[in-house]
Chain A
């Protein structure tokens, strides 16, 4: 039994690899004690075990020792925050993974996460930017893509109604190739070429990689990239830009610098021409790909670019970007070009014709103007040559001709001259002040007006004299002489030496002959004494000659018949007798054909005796009719 008992207990004593923490020896002893208590004769050994206290405690320890130890270890962990944190940390990912199906987890975690994010942004925004960059870029890309689509659509709309020939052609191309019309338009209008692409380390400004298109000129890219970063810094510092902002576009004539910043590297493209907005997106896409592939190498770049050889492939992709000017179709006749050419030619021709017309019109106008000017010059010259006209001002003013000066009223009429010279009077403004000139011609005119010379007298200008020629009655000559003396000094003199007194010529002889006749009367008789018919006939003939001569000489002749009586008898009777005798002679002469208007009669009585003596012979001589002739200017 003991052997069997020992055998039975043998497994307890044997070390057991799976449960090393239990003191098996002690447990065995305890079990033996227990057995003795049940069966006192079982085995030998120390006295029985007391039912309570140390041994039970020991048993407890033996039975639960491991649990107690685990519990104390656990309580130690739970009570020490650091250890607890470690323990929780170890299971947290799994726990969250398991709990993620529970909606409450998200609700519980959200506020804490928000706070954590906020504080992270506050302490270093760069970290979050770096974290989010791969997320943000595709999001932005998507948004930009949408914007561009929108732009295309609006572009489409705006062009929809532009039914130009080119527009129609592009529309055809879009339909044929199945692309959007706006894309075709952009393809044809935006011609550009990416010439250089720089990948520049943002922190140091050092060049990571550079690719240039064929034939693109440029300075040392390492220097250029550093300078680009320096200028970015300069602009940012100068205008207080935020850390992540910088120059994104620089334009130099037809050269564009587009800078696309990434977290660690900046992509700078040098573009010639007119790049489309969509190119930004392409550049950003390349930059974000480079960042995705080599984030750590970019971050820790120390100037050794040998490890970035593969980046060049990406950059080359950018440098290959470009849109060349589309070539015109090589096949067929270039109708459009020809049409445009023709239209241009026609326009040029029309323009030329218009120009020629204008030129002609202008020339014509110039000619007219010149002709008008010539006419005017002629008119002014003629005015200047006119005596009695003094020009003080002549010229063009505001499309009108102006002439001003002094004009003798006797001078030629300027208005009349205008007509003669062919100048349009409506275009002329004249201002004349009257004055009297000393020009001989005007003096002559004035003298002719004031002296009214008889037709037998001619006045003419000879040198600086006005010469009168012909014959005139002495009264006119006298008047002319007075007028000549009144002429203003310095002017022409009136020369009257060429004027004969009419009384001195044929008319003078005739007057003398008429005056020499006397008709005699008998005492107290009013009829002429007999035997005087021949004298009367002679007288009548001479009177007729006088009348005709006076008429030709434009003078008026007057013959006065004066009757006389002797001094015997009554004076009154004698006076009427003498008048009667003159009347009788006039009647007799009239009877013989003399013009009675030529003759005037008067009675002188005895007051004008031929002989003052009182003898019969003297009285007989005094009984007579005598004749007087007066020659005067015609009235």
Chain B
């Protein structure tokens, strides 16, 4: 079985939600992080082994911006799906993530995505109610709380997204 399937995935999230560090340990990376601040995008690869095939997720990590209007939409073009990242200890970042999703949907139409609430290792500072997440899940969203520090949930999230974009 050869890994012939590639999918372009965008990583989106507000400022310092930890999306870059979230994937750091789990991806194949050749470019320096300075690309994010210079070109505004850094590209990594995550290989996911689905039972029937291997999917290479080409991750476009877009520079974290709270100001949605400054997002380079041209980088989103051709995406098969996207990863929304928010900081579970800062509810405002969830709002940013939701408005990012709206922006993407307006431009690219509905696409598979996963919503990751990062920093779940900081349980005592957690500020998102579980009920809210349940609401999202009822809408059919794939929501996962993750930790860049412990790695919890990251692999699952990529696997779920790969499954969604590959079929």
Contact = CB atoms under 8 A, between A and B. Distances in A.
A236 B74 contact: yes
Nearest to A305: B4
Interface string B1-15: 010111110000000
B58 A230 contact: no
Contact of B30 (A201, A207, A220, A303): A220
Contacts of B79: 204
B101 interface: no
B84 interface: no
B6 A203 contact: no
A306 B4 contact: yes
Interface stretch (A221-229, A314-322, A425-433, A517-525): A221-229
Interface stretch (B41-49, B109-117, B124-132, B147-155): B41-49
Contact of A223 (B39, B43, B72, B80): B43
25 contacts: A204-B77, A204-B78, A205-B8, A205-B60, A206-B6, A206-B58, A207-B6, A223-B31, A223-B45, A223-B58, A226-B8, A226-B43, A226-B60, A227-B31, A230-B39, A230-B41, A230-B43, A230-B75, A231-B39, A233-B75, A233-B77, A234-B41, A302-B80, A303-B6, A306-B2
B80 A222 contact: no
**Which of B6, B75, B77 has the largest number of chain A CB atoms within 10 A?**
B6
A305 B6 contact: yes
Interface of A: 201, 203-207, 219-220, 222-224, 226-227, 230-231, 233-234, 236-237, 302-306
A234 B41 CA distance: 9
A227 B43 contact: yes
A220 B6 contact: no
Interface string B71-92: 0101101111000000000000
A303 B7 contact: yes
Contact of B78 (A205, A223, A224, A237): A205
Given A231-B39, A233-B77, 8 more contacts: A220-B45, A223-B31, A226-B43, A227-B43, A237-B74, A303-B6, A303-B8, A306-B2
A interface: dominant SS: helix
Interface string B43-67: 1110000000000101010000000
A223 B79 CA distance: 15
Contacts of B30: 219-220, 223-224
Contacts of B7: 206, 303
A223 B40 CA distance: 16
B28 interface: yes
A125 B31 CA distance: 35
Given A203-B78, A226-B60, A230-B75, A303 B41 contact: no
The 3 closest A-B pairs by CB, nearest first: A204-B78, A306-B4, A303-B6
Contacts of B6: 206-207, 222, 303-305
Contacts of A206: 6-8, 58, 78
A202 B55 CA distance: 20
Contacts of A226: 8, 43, 58, 60
A237 B30 CA distance: 24
A304 B4 CA distance: 6
B108 to A, nearest CB: 11
Nearest to B72: A237
Nearest to A233: B74
B72 A222 contact: no
A445 B31 CA distance: 99
B4 A205 contact: no
B56 A203 contact: no
